Amino acid sequence: MEINVILSESFEKWLKTLEYAESTVYLSVRYVNDFFFYLKSKDIKNLEQINPATITGYYKHLQTRPQKKQTGGLSQNYIVSNINAIKRFSKYLQVTGKGNLEIILQIPVNKATNKTILSQEEIKALYQATDNTELGIRDRAILGIYYGCGLRRSEGTALNVKDVMYKERLVFVRGGKGNKERYVPMTERVKDDLLDYIFLIRDKVKRHNQSTEEALFLSERGKRMHGNSIINRLHQMATKAKIQKEIGLHTLRHSIATHLLQSGMTLEEVSQFLGHSSLESTQIYTHLAHE
């Protein structure tokens, strides 16, 4: 089968039909299109021409390819995500009967070093990259939820304004991993940043759009913000802060977990804070904190 845009669009529809997360769909299609571009450079125009050596060659290409927007090479996290997207594409081909990619590549991943962690100085730089505009005040609230409270991406986007219990200094997290609910404490600074956003910005956006949306984070149109929109804001903060790392919302969660352990908090306390179902999931951060 010929490798073309139609194949990429069909792959995207398949991912959406299976209800993959919005970010997974976006990145999978993007990475597969990058793979197509590589194949074109090797004069490979049909799926039948792809073999295990092709995949291995692409993996080596990623290991030596420089970043497009920043200096240095691609992170291991980026490379693994790229290869996983191709594996997802291979599954799509098999299920739909469009072809079969034999991917036997095994990437050794050290779980203790596969997580990108920001230093406390870099977190400070992110905060300093915000300003007192409407977007800047919302950006600080976003940092408060994803770094200060360590929420997962989906947990943050699912928050409603009533979930911020500022008198108790707690954030109520519903629909966490495994549909578990929990209360997460917030510092005085996080509370102040959230209140500034809620009463100075969010209420204004709601009135302007005559919105009845209950979501905590609202777009300029008064709609619930999606994960990709929040990630885009984080990337803009990181660029302004001159952070030379590929980061996402999960990076903020990994960072706060590491910083809490470095500050002397026990493994059990950090596990409860993160909403982990077992200490085994939290144990990895002890290695990161030591490093």
**152 is an active site residue:** yes
> In the chain, how many H helices and how many E strands?
13, 3
Alpha helices in 115-187 (DSSP H): 120-128, 134-143, 153-157
140, 153, 253, 259: the catalytic one is: 253
88, 140, 152, 202: the catalytic one is: 152
CA distance to 64, 123, 144, 147, 291, per residue, from 259 (Å): 32, 11, 15, 10, 12
Burial 182-214 (b: 16+ CB within 10 A, else e): eebebeeebbebbebbbeebbeebbeeeebebe
177, 223, 226, 240: the catalytic one is: 177
Token pair, residue 103, equals 């991917």
Contact indicator for 218, 211 with CB cutoff of 8 Å: yes
The CB density around residue 138, as the number of other CB atoms within 10 Å, is: 25
**177 is an active site residue:** yes
**276 is an active site residue:** yes
**197 is an active site residue:** no
65, 240, 250, 287: the catalytic one is: 250
List beta partners, residue 214.
none
CA atoms within 13 A on the CB side of 169: 9
**16 is an active site residue:** no
Q: Name, in order, each residue with C-beta under 8 angstroms of 55's C-beta and a sequence gap of 6 or more.
A: 83, 86, 101, 103, 104, 105
List beta partners, residue 182.
173
Phi, psi of 100 (to 5 degrees): -150, 115
List beta partners, residue 218.
224
Where would I find the beta strands (DSSP E) of the chain?
164-165, 170-173, 182-185
**138 is an active site residue:** no
- Write out the catalytic residue numbers: 152, 177, 250, 253, 276, 285
